[in-house]
Amino acid sequence: MKEIKLFTYGTLMKDFQNYDIYLKKYVKSIEEAYVYGTLYHLKDKECPALVEGFDKVYGEVITLLDDDNFTVLKQIDELEKHFNGSPDRIAFVRKGLEVYFKDGKKELIYGYIFVDREILSEDNAVYIEGGSWKRYMERKNKILA
């Protein structure tokens, strides 16, 4: 088994649907952390999109135990690569991000960056002030309740 660290800021975080489906049974640890970027909520996809920028974007570093073939990581890559119904358009790519922890340390860790800029320009993206999709969804769900 190999340890893999992922910076997650959306549906792969604990308490969200893709965490339960893809990660839960492989998780070794979870730590709060942040990166620098700009975060949007994609209204039609109900997910966040991280692009380059200068805001603090908050999420979790999830340490996973994966097999020697990186089966879990490959499944997540496929999940993030395309939106359902759009196999010809790449949505997110995995790349190394400079991640900052509460204790002041920083580390280069994989995360998923949104690359389909066309969707951001389509009156579909809501800028998330404060950089936390989790807090954004909590507020949104409270308003809808």
What domains appear along the chain, each with residue ranges and CATH number?
2-144 (3.10.490.10)
pLDDT tens digits for range 97-122:
999 999 999 999 999 999 988 888 77
Per the model's pLDDT, the better-predicted residue between 79 and 12 turns out to be 12
pTM, full prediction: 0.91
Q: How confident is the model at residue 145 (pLDDT cuts 50, 70, 90)?
A: very low
75: which DSSP letter? H
Structure confidence at residue 86 (pLDDT): 60
Indicate if the pLDDT at residue 144 is higher than 60. Answer: no
